Amino acid sequence: MNIRFDGQTVIVTGAAHGFGRAISLAFAERGANVWACDVNRDGLALTEQQAREQGTALNVRVVDVTDREQIQAFVQEASGGERVDVLVNNAGGVLGQVGRPLEEISEEDWHAIFGVNVDGAFYFAQAVAPLMKARHSGRIVNISSGAGLGVSLTGIQAYASAKAAQIGLTRQLAHELGPFGITVNNVAPGFVRSNPTTERQWESYGEAGQRKLVEGIALKKLGTPEDIASAVLFFASEYAGWITGQVLSVDGGK
């Protein structure tokens, strides 16, 4: 498969590191006009630098995915009011939270994780849908987690719940937007050492826990951010034109 996105406008959220950075660079390398956003300005600058080093370019903007007005303004700028071909809702995570007993979780902590993992995906889909409908074409790819299909390795209740909610949103939007030629799919990564949070999580397991985690993977190795990006590229490509409402686990085999 020779997957290219020449002339296409692609939006990637959460692009300051990890999956979002790898996804942004992969689309840019294949000819897309990439608009990458995050709240982490320094991380975005590094993503932009890496794009230049590979001989491509990115448009980067600081955007809070929980702020609907910021999202609307960003999508308007990126699209020129005309087109967004691909939306990748990658922004998410645990926001520095750690696993704690249920009764210790504050209302603010619960809603914060839902805000970045679910609300952001919903707001961005709302913003691009009219543009995609007008062109009768579009791809939306949400990045969830194995935690949304099972349980969270960190024990963070809100994270597992939010990722499961995002998968539900994917399936619902697939049916709503399908008549307009828009596909909506989901990539559920397994554990990947991709950012400072996952590095801390990896170190917390210790040597024995790390060995146990890897041994629980069919392929007996951890994946990379590029593995996740490859799945996104497929869903966004012409080869996935008759695939929608699906969740693809990219986890080395469980």
Q: How far apart are CA 67 and CA 61, in angstroms?
A: 14
Phi and psi for 196 in degrees, rounded to 5? -55, -35
pLDDT tens string 166-205: 999 999 999 999 999 999 999 999 999 998 889 998 999 9
8 A C-beta contact, residue 102 and residue 26: no
8 A C-beta contact, residue 28 and residue 50: no
In the chain the domains, ranked by start, together with CATH numbers, are 9-191+226-250 (3.40.50.720)
8 A C-beta contact, residue 97 and residue 156: yes
Phi and psi for 209 in degrees, rounded to 5? -65, -35
8 A C-beta contact, residue 8 and residue 33: yes
Mean of the pLDDT values across residues 158-166? 98
pLDDT tens string 90-133: 999 999 999 999 999 999 999 999 999 999 999 999 999 999 99
Structure tokens at 46: 């590094």
Q: Looking at 123, 159, 205, 239, which residue is catalytic?
A: 159
More confident: 195 or 89: 89
Name the 3-class secondary structure at 180. helix
The per-residue pLDDT for 254 is 85
CA count, 13 A, side-chain hemisphere, 188: 24
pLDDT cut 90: percent of the chain above it: 94
Exposure b/e, 166-187, CB count within 10 A at least 16 = b: bbebbbebbeebeeeebbbbbb
Mean of the pLDDT values across residues 4-12? 98
Residue type, position 100, single letter: R
pLDDT cut 70: percent of the chain above it: 100
Mean of the pLDDT values across residues 210-230? 97
Q: Does the structure show a pLDDT above 80 at 146?
A: yes
- The residue with tokens 């060995």 is 211
Q: How far apart are CA 217 and CA 254, in angstroms?
A: 6
Annotated catalytic, 239?
no
The per-residue pLDDT for 166 is 98
The per-residue pLDDT for 242 is 98
The per-residue pLDDT for 1 is 76
Q: Which residues is 34 bridged to in the sheet?
A: 10
The per-residue pLDDT for 153 is 85
pTM over 0.75: yes
8 A C-beta contact, residue 242 and residue 179: no
